[in-house]
Amino acid sequence: MNLLHLHKKFMKNFLGLVILFLISSCKNSTNEISLASKIPNFSGKWNWTESSGFGNRGFSVNIIQKNDSIYGIFDAYAQGGNRIDQGIEIIQDYNIIGIVKNNVAYLKFASAWSDDGELGEATLVKKSDLLLEWKITKRPKTNNGDFWIIDNCTLKQK
């Protein structure tokens, strides 16, 4: 009878641990989902243009976001289209890669004008559902100093 009593006590404690583990697992999954839903969504086509005495210039990005990872393509033009930078691939089909941390997208980009494929760095901050703030934090070195990507701008969703 003593052995039977120990077995029942063990099974009761074991079952309690299993239930506690399952409840804990469900709670952690809910927390992870709620944290993931707080990451701003940068996905979309975004655009900035300007007309000046030097001719029109513009910058556009197409961002794809998967969880906290960012992939994208940019296109920049200046001097009314006489200077163009469509970048070079960092990974297949993308010239922008990055990660979202603390509501900011930290990006690396590959300019077609960069020296030896050196990457530039930029940030994106979501100002609203329709506006992103683009800021270059590190320009890549260029062969002759030419660089046609805007340093700072507010991108509007297309």
Is residue 107 within 8 Å of 97, Cβ to Cβ?
A: yes
Q: Report which of 51, 49, 76 is spatially closest to residue 62, judged by C-alpha positions.
A: 76
Domain ranges of the chain: 1-38, 44-157
Per-residue pLDDT of the chain (158 residues; tens, 9 = 90+): 544 544 454 444 434 433 434 444 444 444 444 455 588 999 999 999 999 877 899 999 999 999 999 999 999 999 988 999 999 999 999 999 999 999 999 999 999 998 877 899 999 999 999 999 999 999 998 877 788 999 999 999 98
Nearest of 64, 59, 65, 45 to residue 87 by alpha carbon: 59
The helix or strand, by DSSP H or E, that contains position 56, with its residue range, turns out to be: none
What are the structure tokens assigned to 22, written together? 């399952």
CA–centroid distance for 3 within its chain: 60
Cβ-Cβ contacts under 8 Å for 75 (sequence gap 6 or more): 59, 60, 61, 84, 85, 86, 87
What CATH code is assigned to 44-157? 2.40.128
Q: What's CA 137's distance to the chain center, in Å? A: 15
